[in-house]
Amino acid sequence: MAKGIDQQSLTESTTDQRLAMAKQYSHEGVIAGAKAAVIAGVVTAIPTIASVRRFSWARANLNYTAQALIISTAAGAAYFIVADKAVLKSARRNSINNKDAEIQTFGA
């Protein structure tokens, strides 16, 4: 390579850069998923608790464990769906940027 930069140090630098980007993207996914889980938990908790207080069927059949299961399932599903979408969006964005950089590098 030109100007005394060897291939191995260039490869290590690229690997470190990719690892840092992967950590950043996963962190963004965790934050987005946590926000969605909180919102989904609140949105699910309000009607669940209200229905247990209002309807006799729900009062008789939905104990505290069932209520917690309903709320936590909605929150968990929201977390994983949003976190996965955020990570895939970041990966797609990174892939497009890499493709553009390759096109500019090779002069195509």
pLDDT of 82 higher than 90 = yes
pTM to 2 decimals? 0.73
Contact 79, 36 (CB under 8 A): yes
Query: DSSP assignment, residue 4?
Result: G
Tens of pLDDT, residues 52-80:
999 999 999 999 999 999 999 999 999 99
Residue 52, C-beta contacts closer than 8 angstroms, at least 6 positions apart: 58, 59, 62, 67
What pLDDT sits at residue 90? 86
Q: Which residue is listed with tokens 């309807």?
A: 55
Contact 91, 106 (CB under 8 A): no
